[in-house]
Structure 1
């Protein structure tokens, strides 16, 4: 009996070791070879990325990722919807394989994950009440009038606002875009600081909201966006970049992204991931 119990304990220990190894093991290429799905991690942030009614990955970043993966011969894809602030931790913990949420390539993020080559370049602006009654165009306008703003956790606009001098007490941080828009609609804040695409989308779907003029916004320069990978998946990322190079700006791409408000003016041109990682 004692021998049987000892063998049973050894078997459990071995099983636990194998299970732990399988969770931690391998590159994305090895997971694919084992028949595992490619897990796309994104938050609900239309038109960049969101889940369709059937749970499928929607939005132009997901559309680009899915198209490029198909070109590489990969169709076994699984969407993973999470909070924006959980995207990089989920990638690092191995809960997702790619971050397709639509992240600006900034230095702090480059220190935590690797990015693909740019898939687009965009600027920031504000979502404001209809007619922009307080004439909010810049962070300085918030400071001069002692106004408040909101942004989702992890958005670059939180840091940008603080760097511009907006008091921390005038900045509200929330889990996601839904909560940010709710704060604006209910008058808890005066503006939502976000990217041009999300601002346009919010104004298009809500007649009580407007987008401030992006031409008058003072902040970071036009920022490139990429898809995130773990450093250990370098070979897969390079293969993705090779397929992306042939895809970017193509008729296939534009047919995929146009329904989600991506236009040719957003193409990254000669802007690079390497320069973006160094610049900010």
Structure 2
């Protein structure tokens, strides 16, 4: 083999390698952007719903389908606009917005994320789907001694919060030291931390806190209290910034199930009639600017 043969062989190999890399890059890009962005894509291919491990509000069935209060609402809403295929992807709350932005999920379930101004910079929210307040799960020894995040800070108590959640921000704003803020991936883990006395109290929204205490706590040893000086919070489905059409369709589906009574039926099924307070009365725009 002469030099020209070697040169041609090397050039041919190089071209083949570059072509293979390019093909792999294209395949990787296509495989990565798996979730629907438009209504037509959602109707054709279905949607991927980001959920947390918070039964009965959110859970994954054995076949991978999303279930629980939030996903059941999402399905009812999206079925009104022709979406019939649903897949769930379980993750921590703090991972939901990055997953939506990177198209690994189409939307976060309607009960997963509260509408907050800083979140409105990263994603777009549907109209409010449920509203509630803030709560602490306390051991009996702290009964009557803690009623606010300020109390937690002043008493140097260790507080358990879910990562990236509203409760983490409220703790920081109240002056709770970083070392006293313990992150848990889901409510079950948080209650285990409380039972093992690795935290002094657990913070969550009112509905989740009440359910966790009822399912995993001893009513004689723990209690749930409403946190003083906190505002009404409303949860909604979150979408990527370029999914305006799909978000608008979701809002239309929500309007339809509220009008038909299906929305209240689902809320009653899970004992969450209290979560309807504020829905239809406060807007996403208002919550994004407060």
SS of 2:89 mapped into structure 1:
strand
Match of 1:78 among 84, 87, 98: 87
What is the rounded CA distance, in whole Å, between the counterparts of 1:9 and 1:30 in structure 2?
38
Q: TM-score, normalised by structure 1?
A: 0.87
Judge which range, 58-67 or 23-32, deviates more: 23-32
For structure 2, list consecutive stretches of 5 or more residues without a partner in the other structure: 1-7
Q: Mean alpha-carbon deviation: is it higher for 179-188 or for 45-54?
A: 45-54
Structure 2 Cα separation of the partners of residues 144 and 6 of structure 1: 66
Q: Is the 8 A contact 2:136 2:201 kept in 1?
A: yes
Question: Is residue 2:225 matched to residue 1:213?
Answer: yes
Aligned to 2:3: none
Deviation (angstroms), 1:84: 1.7
Say if 2:33 and 2:104, in contact at 8 Å, map to a contact too.
no
The change in CA–CA distance for 1:95 and 1:229 in structure 2 (over 3 A counts) is: same
Aligned mates of 1:211, 1:235 — CA distance in 2: 44
Q: Work out the number of aligned pairs and report it.
A: 277
Deviation digits for residues 24-71 of structure 1, max 9, x if unmatched?
489622772794331001111234322235443122211111101111
Quick check: 2:113–2:237 contact (8 Å CA) kept in 1?
yes
3-state SS of the aligned residue for 2:242? Answer: helix
Correspondent of 2:190 among 172, 180, 196:
180
Which residue number corresponds to residue 158 of structure 1?
Answer: 168
1:83, CA displacement in angstroms?
1.6
Q: Which has the larger radius of gyration?
A: 2
1:15 aligns with 2:23: yes
C-alpha distance in 2, partners of 1:245/1:71? 10
User: Could you state the TM-score of these two structures normalised by the residue count of structure 2?
Assistant: 0.85
Gaps of 5+ in 1: none
User: Aligned residue for 1:99?
Assistant: 108
For the pair 1:32 / 2:41, whether they are aligned, the reply is: yes
What's the CA shift for 1:155?
1.3
Task: String of CA shifts for 1:206-265, please: whole Å, max 9, x gaps.
Answer: 341544332xx2233111111010011111111111121122364212222323231155
Q: CA RMSD in A?
A: 2.7
Q: What is aligned with 2:253?
A: 243
Equivalence for 1:61 = 70
